[in-house]
Structure 1
Amino acid sequence: MKNWITWVILSAALVACGDKKEESVKVDSDKPNLTGTPDVGKVEQVEVKTTGTGLTPSAAVSEALKSAVMQVNGTAVDASSASVNISAKATAQLDVQSKNGSDSVKATEVVNSQAFAESVVTQSNGVVSTFKVDKLTPPKSNGGVYVVDITAKIAKFKAPADAGKIKIVVAPIKSTQQSFNIGGRNVPAHEVLEPIRQQIIESLTKTGRFTVLDRDFDSDIESELMMIGSGQTSQNDLAKLNQALSADVIWVGAVNSLSYDRMARQLKTSDRELVSYSGKWSITQRLVNLTTRQVMLSDTFKGDFPTVSPTTLGASINEKTSVANVQVEVVKKATESIMQKTFPISVVSLDGEAVVLSQGEGAVVEGGQYKLVKLGKEMKDPQTGQSLGNIETECCEVIVNRVTEKMSYGQLINVKVKLEGIEPGVLQLRGKVQAKPAEPSPQAAATGDKPKAKSSAPAEKTSAPVAAEKPKDKDW
């Protein structure tokens, strides 16, 4: 009796072990993520049930498989492609063995066999991972059709998580001019404008807030996709076809003006020239909703080229540096405007007065001092019902001491509100704080003494030469 009880207990224990479900692994949100593999999407298997009809068993099975592939991967799949005709070889013998379906008993026997299912899976080269005929219904009368119900697992491409972000295309910048006058030389427009476009693509990509779509290397991408479509790769890769993303918004830019003029006059009393340089630039950007064509954002950026006063000392400019400075300024202003409109910089972590900001490179600079506001109640227009934004209360300032690609770190100063209990995102950045001149100490103010100026670092060198004295009127 005692041995029998022991045997029952052991049996129950073994059954419990066998039925024990795998415990889910708890993830501590405070611990770093050490498995940050880039998400480029993957091919997964999707189970689907479909029905096909045909004059023969083979035609019915082929139609059912075609329907399964198109149901999983979309109706955009070409009906003549290999991905929807994977059963042609596997079902060829079916019609032979069943005498084109006239022997319905044999047809049912073949399609229900393990060998037939394995043949379909093998010859699909990865498109189908499992296959089963649930039911084969013969024609009810002469000239009727076979009806087949199947269950299959079909390869499907799962898009990366980034595909859920706002998808943006940066279009080439437009200009009515073929070239620009830069210091007396005509520089081709694409040499000036294309670097701006490429830098905006790079800048928006680094923010991590957009899925930036490529439109420059279409031919190279199509070449790779053709390899898949022609069967040179595993047919499991067929699920990658027809997966291109379309844009949600398009960035467009246009040059209003851009010229850096060289002006020269010959002196009357000598063979020398009086040379000077000056110029302006103006570029407009727009963010357009692709579907509705609504203009979501429109800005015009303006600036001046360094002015070189009239001189006879052989003044010259550095054309590449002058253009590069404009390019950098346009990219900086464009990115800041887009991010402020779509994703304002916010405090995502607050530990005392140490903070982490939601954006990094391209959004803030190391050593920069910025104003922060605390968001309050949302206000709505009583006439339209549209949101007017949130009430903002001056909070503090933040000095950025470290910048990474997607985040930045800083220290709060001049805090005017209570920081306890503030949730991530409630504190938002509102522009850079301009440096204020040092105020005199109380003692200096009492005595009337002016504060001594601190020694400053040497002034940055500029490409513009120092202007010489203007010539006298008699030289003209």
Structure 2
Amino acid sequence: MLSSLIAVALVGCGEQKVEKPQEEAPKAVGPSLTQTPDVGKVEQIQVTAKGMGVTPGAAVNDALKTAIMQVNGTRVEAVSATLNTFSNATANLDVQTASGYRDSAEATATLQSQNFADQIVSESKGMVTSFRVVKMLAPKSKGDIYTVDIEAKIAKFAAPADAGKIKIVVAPLKSNVAAYDIGGTVVPASEVLNPIRQQIIDALSQTGRFTILDRQFEADIEGELDMIGSGKSANTDFAKLGQALAADLVWIGVVNDLAYKKHARKLQTSDRELVSYSGAWSVSQRLINLTTRQILQSNTLQGTPPSVKPTTLGAGVDSNAMLASIRNEIVKNATEAIILRTFPISIVERDGNMVVLSQGGQAVRENRRYQIYLQGKEIKDPQTGQSLGNMESLCCEVVINRVTPNLSYGTLENIKIELSSVQPGALQIREALADRPEAAAAAPEAVHQPVPAAEHKPVAQPAVARSAPTAQAPRVKQSEDW
């Protein structure tokens, strides 16, 4: 009965609906369209410091120098000297002190005045953006010194995040010759060496693993810095002076040999010439630790462009295309050697024999074959305690199928160990392997033999042979004199 009455009462009162709060629609997630390059910025750091001196001005100078060094380190020694240690702002104060300050409260009032603070800020040229003397203790007897406590905001340049990466300088390539013979065309050395250097800089920059430092346009950069020092820019920009980064590594390359020569021999039985083309290149490279002058890597890179076999049919070579092909091979081999030495490429994911490698871009090349090693226990020199690297055992080979800017994908072949219990990160690339003979034999020869005009028979031109999957064979053209 009671339950029935309660039910009737509820019906009589009417059913009350409780409205649920509306949930906010999820915010759209998309790319940041306002992101700007990280070039560093000038920050203001609040500090306190104590200074001592035989005069109030000397004490203030000492306190300011301490405050600046707290924020920017000993690098500001030279900057403080340039600013004459704020002596212009404190000179009048010291003159008054020499005339006979008898009241320490009067001297403190002068130090704490807004006029004096403005002079210090102005004299600092933006390094000090606010200044205040908290207290001053005057000497109680002859021979004592003044003591000053200050508060100040010091400008500090916050370097970009990339400044924490390995900093490398690519030095201009060197050569013992003034020009190179490329298919019968004499090419000045500068037209060969400068593009190679620029392409190496481009390739290393695209890996995202290095901070590349410029040493080519120093005069232009110094001109911009001089404008800051002259006071023509905002005062806060003064903190940007003295912030140049020093290199960790220097890459040095020497071109020992680079040529693709035309060989011609006149036939005894006719007035025709037997013409062929062949060449090679050799570049010695060193990777040097700038601080210790230690050579971290030293080797010689070599290559042989596809040759043109002897023919009497007036074959010729596109010198520009051949030179571009040689330059590309040098750049790829040099970049590959640098990256493998500084950032070993490891396998980060594996699904059976399909693997994902930790780097892409210019680090590896599509269709190229690399040797993989399994990393074991770390070995240390018993005399110096220095790490000598890890024990390594030959694992397998990987053929790169696809390369993206940050990753690459490949297939494992010739596996020599059991991989079921191996962690992916323990497998690392050590060196590139030469193409297999059967692969090279399968490619047609890089020779074009045009048919004499008298026969009037079109001939299909065979494809170009490649000494490496990425090598570009010379484009062969018919001689105009034929």
Q: Structure 1-normalised TM-score?
A: 0.73
Alpha-carbon spacing, 1:338–1:127, altered in 2? closer, same or farther (3 Å): same
- The Cα of 1:241 is off from its aligned counterpart by 0.6
Identity of aligned residues (%): 52
C-alpha RMSD of matched pairs (Å): 3.9
1:463 aligns with 2:467: no
Output the CA distance in 2 between the equivalents of 1:276 and 1:159. 56
Ranges in structure 2 where 5+ consecutive residues have no aligned partner? 1-28, 440-461, 466-472
Q: 1:276-333 CA distances to partner (integer Å, 9 max, x unpaired)?
A: 3332221111112222222211111222244333434333211111111111111111
Alignment of 1:367-382 (within 5 A): 372-380=372-380
For residues 170 and 238 of structure 1, do their structure 2 counterparts lie closer, same or farther at Cα, with a shift above 3 Å needed? Answer: same
**Residue 78 of structure 1 corresponds to which residue in structure 2?**
79
Cα distance between partner residues in 2 of 1:115 and 1:127: 18
Match of 1:232 in 2: 232
Letter in 1 for 2:260: Y
Using the TM superposition, give the Cα deviation of residue 144 of structure 1 relative to its aligned residue in structure 2, in angstroms. Answer: 6.6
Number of aligned positions between the proteins: 415
Deviations 1:186-227 (CA, angstroms, capped at 9, x unpaired): 221111111111111111122222222110110111111111
Could you tell me which residue of structure 2 aligns to residue 222 of structure 1? 222
In 2, Cα distance between the equivalents of 1:310 and 1:412? Answer: 40
C-alpha distance in structure 2 between counterparts of 1:280 and 1:392, whole Å: 33
Aligned AA (2:474): S
Q: Residue 387 of structure 1: CA displacement? A: 2.7
* Partner in structure 1 of residue 204 of structure 2: 204
Residues 425-444 of structure 1: matches in 2 within 5 Å? 425-430=425-430
The secondary structure found in structure 2 opposite 1:242 is coil
1:389 corresponds to which residue?
390
Amino acid across the alignment from 1:394: C
Aligned to 1:12: none
> What amino acid maps onto 2:44 in structure 1?
Q
Mapped to 2, the partners of 1:148 and 1:466 lie a distance apart of 84
The alpha-carbon distance between structure 1 residues 39 and 351, as it changes in their structure 2 partners (threshold 3 A), is farther
Counterpart in 1 of 2:26?
Answer: none
2:341 is matched with 341
Q: Which amino acid is the alignment partner of residue 288 of structure 1? A: I
Aligned to 1:154: 154
Alignment partner, residue 57 of structure 1: 56
- Measured at CA, do residues 431 and 124 of structure 1 come closer, stay the same or move farther in structure 2, by a change above 3 Å? closer
Task: Summarize the Cα distance change of 1:436–1:361 in structure 2 as closer, same or farther, 3 Å threshold.
Answer: same
CA displacement at 1:105 relative to structure 2? 2.5
Give the corresponding residue for 1:127.
Answer: 127
> Deviations for 1:337-356, whole angstroms, at most 9, x for unmatched residues?
12112211113456888754
Residue 464 to residue 37, structure 1, CA distance change in 2 (3 Å): closer
> In 1, are the aligned partners of 2:180 and 2:188 still within 8 Å (CA)?
yes
Q: Which moved more, 1:345-354 or 1:62-71?
A: 345-354
Q: Matched residue of 1:50: which SS?
A: strand
CA distance in 2, matches of 1:176, 1:400: 39
Q: 1:138 to 1:298 in 2, by over 3 A?
A: same
Unaligned runs of 5+ in 1: 1-30, 439-457, 469-476
Give the TM-score, by structure 2 length: 0.72
Q: Could you tell me which residue of structure 2 aligns to residue 362 of structure 1?
A: 362
1:44-443 equivalences in 2 (<5 Å): 44-53=43-52, 56-73=55-72, 74-82=75-83, 88=88, 102-103=101-102, 104-113=104-113, 116-117=116-117, 120-121=120-121, 126-141=126-141, 146-267=146-267, 271-348=271-348, 356-366=356-366, 372-380=372-380, 386-392=387-393, 394=395, 397=398, 399-404=400-405, 406-409=406-409, 417=418, 422=423, 425-430=425-430
Q: What letter corresponds to residue 285 of structure 2 in structure 1?
A: Q
Aligned CA distance change for structure 1 residues 171 and 189 (closer, same or farther; 3 Å) = same
Q: Identify which range, 199-208 or 44-53, moves more after superposition.
A: 44-53
| 2: CA distance, partners of 1:219 / 1:306 | 42
Looking at structure 2, the residues matched to 247 and 170 of structure 1 have their Cα atoms a distance apart, in angstroms, of: 10
- Are the counterparts in 1 of residues 373 and 392 from structure 2 also a CA contact under 8 Å? no
- Contact 1:309–1:467 at 8 Å: present in 2 too? no
Task: State the shift of 1:388 in Å.
Answer: 4.8
SS of equivalent to 1:325: helix
